[in-house]
Amino acid sequence: MKKQAGAIALALTLTATACTGAGEVAESDAADLDVSTGVTDDSIIIGTHQPLTGPAAPGYMSISLGARAVFDHVNAQGGVNGRTIDYRVEDDVYDPAQTIDVTRQLVIEDEIFAMMGGLGTPTHSGVLDYLNDEGVPDVFPSSGALAWNNPEEHPLTYGWQTDYTKEAKIQGQYIADNFEGQAVGYLFQNDDVGEDSQAGLDQYLADTVVAREHYESEVTDLSAQLSSLKDAEAEVVVCSCIPAFVALAMLEAASIGYEPQWVLSSIGGDTATLQALLANFTKDTDAEDVPADAFLDGVLITSYMPRVEDQEDEWSQFFNAVWEEYGDGGPLTNTHVFGMTQAVMFSQVLKSAGEDLTRQSLIDALHTQEWQGPSPVPFSSTEDDRGGHQGVYVLRYNAGGEIEMVQDPMVTDREGGPIEATDYEPLPPTELDFHD
């Protein structure tokens, strides 16, 4: 009988699923990397997932615009090893469910060669296993989570940002040395940013910290947190926050007459973005006439890439020139530079991978690449350490737009290792080999 056959088939299916635990994932065979998916004689398709619409878009949209400008520049010079770069940006609205959808679209329909700079911790976590299972190189995800540096579980993922713990360690030591004995307060985002940052800060500031305040990215009222920091008399406040919350915290502090020394992480340290946010938030309030720069005067920022404010820097000049030609006409910010630096370094490793481009040759090139810029901080993408940028430098922003380097690049690990100076020197744009 038909029904019986159906029932047997169903029973078989159910037993098959029932045999194994849902969370017990069998080791699948490593994907074949000797393939040139997405590579033709004259082009390479690469993809990325970015928030182009929705609430996260205003802060992060500039990253892919910056990267596209550099790729346009590279293509105008003849591309890389005779191939132009076809950069496909998919909008995931910073929603993990949509990241999964658009990533499949990129891998299956667009047949990308590699994923470059997929943005966000919750979003990219959802496609990490998928990309590794499918054998798609997952290069430079735009997030400082520790998860990206895990060669055993994710052999095709290569981190980018200085991870939050390394950055916080260097912040912690700088504060301990330069603000000796002063009370310190933490303000952090209540996710891996806050957790990993505290792990670093506490190595140097555990004795002087007087308040630990967190915020949720859904709640834009920081009055309770700031008054706690003020009541605890914290003289230095380390803000491990995204730009919107740096701006909100500064405004809230100003409104209660609290003037701590602000120390900002790189994720929230883009002064151009902060100025725009501050101007936007003060509109139609009593503080409307206060220039945004007044809030930012004297803040300390940790950073690992070239800064647009630094007009002496050759990379900064180069990026400005590229933006002039291929940008959308708006001002260049450090968020653009984030994507631009990624694009330069990705082009550089493509160049090293040679003319017979396969996924394996890209991986090999990553492992052996001698990185020489644009960032003034050493970079690691070896077989065993995919930590990306290895440290930060400290700068002070002064009203009027000038920045002042107050501590040279330092490198460290994410455990309890020492913080060390480095003699690393980046090459200027004219000497770096990243296009034909």
Partner 1 sequence: MTTTSTSSNAVEAPAPPARPRGWRALPSPVRHLLLAALGLAVFTGFLLVTGDLTALRMAAVGYTMLSIAGLQLLVGGSGQVSLGHGAFMMIGAYTTALLVIHMPMLPLAADLLLVVLVAVVAGIAVGAATARLHGPYLAGATLILAVGLPGLAHRYHEVLGGSNGLTIRTAGAPPFLQGVVTNSEWKALVVWTTVLLAMALLATVNSGRLGRRLRAIRDDENAAAMAGIPVGRTKVVAFVIASAAGGLAGGLQAYVLGTITPGSFTLALSLTLIAALVLGGISSMWGALWAGLAVVYLEIWASDATRALNLDRDVENNLPVVVFGVLLILILRFWPLGVHGAVQRLTAPLRKKSAPR
DSSP structural state of residue 65: H
Q: Which C-beta is closer to partner 1: that of 104 or that of 433?
A: 104
Give the long-range contacts of residues 409-412, CB within 8 A, separation 24 or more.
409/304, 409/376, 409/377, 409/378, 410/170, 410/173, 411/166, 411/377, 411/378, 412/166, 412/169, 412/170
Least distance in angstroms from the C-beta of 94 to partner 1: 8
Q: Which C-beta is closer to partner 1: that of 104 or that of 417?
A: 104
- Reduced to 3 states, what is the DSSP secondary structure of residue 431? coil
DSSP track, 296-364? HTT-EEEE-S--TT-TT-HHHHHHHHHHHHHS-SS---HHHHHHHHHHHHHHHHHHHH-SS--HHHHHH
Least distance in angstroms from the C-beta of 435 to partner 1: 29
Q: Which C-beta is closer to partner 1: that of 136 or that of 236?
A: 136
Phi-psi region of 38 (alpha: psi -120 to 50; beta: other; left: phi over 0): left
Q: Which C-beta is closer to partner 1: that of 189 or that of 208?
A: 189
- Reduced to 3 states, what is the DSSP secondary structure of residue 35? coil
Least distance in angstroms from the C-beta of 126 to partner 1: 3
Q: Which C-beta is closer to partner 1: that of 51 or that of 429?
A: 51
Q: Which amino acid is at 424?
A: Y
Q: Which C-beta is closer to partner 1: that of 53 or that of 285?
A: 53
Least distance in angstroms from the C-beta of 23 to partner 1: 3
Site residues, partner 1 (CB under 8 A)? 3, 6, 10, 13-14, 16-26, 28, 52-54, 57, 91, 95-97, 99-101, 104-105, 108-109, 121-122, 125-126, 128-129, 133, 190-192, 216-218
Q: Which C-beta is closer to partner 1: that of 133 or that of 310?
A: 133
Cβ(141)–Cβ(92) below 8 Å: no
Beta-carbon count within 10 A of 195 CB: 16
Q: Report cis status (omega within 30 of 0) of the bond before 374.
A: yes
Q: Which C-beta is closer to partner 1: that of 10 or that of 321?
A: 10
Least distance in angstroms from the C-beta of 20 to partner 1: 5
Cβ(290)–Cβ(250) below 8 Å: no
* Alpha-carbon radius of gyration of the chain: 23
β-strand pairing of 300-303 with 391-398: antiparallel
Least distance in angstroms from the C-beta of 132 to partner 1: 11
Angle, vertex CA 106, rays to CA 105 and CA 110, nearest 5: 100
Cβ(323)–Cβ(336) below 8 Å: yes
Least distance in angstroms from the C-beta of 95 to partner 1: 7
Least distance in angstroms from the C-beta of 100 to partner 1: 6
Least distance in angstroms from the C-beta of 57 to partner 1: 8
Q: Which C-beta is closer to partner 1: that of 29 or that of 312?
A: 29
What secondary structure, in 3-state letters, does 235-295 show? Answer: CEEEEECCHHHHHHHHHHHHHCCCCCEEEECHHHCCHHHHHHHHHHHHCCCHHHHCCHHHH
Least distance in angstroms from the C-beta of 29 to partner 1: 9
Q: Which C-beta is closer to partner 1: that of 96 or that of 151?
A: 96
Q: Which amino acid is at 202?
A: D
Q: Which C-beta is closer to partner 1: that of 19 or that of 42?
A: 19
Q: Which amino acid is at 141?
A: P
DSSP strand E in 51-83: where?
none
Least distance in angstroms from the C-beta of 223 to partner 1: 18
Cβ(143)–Cβ(161) below 8 Å: yes
Least distance in angstroms from the C-beta of 267 to partner 1: 14
Q: Which C-beta is closer to partner 1: that of 25 or that of 399?
A: 25
Q: Residue 118: phi, psi to the nearest 5?
A: -55, 130
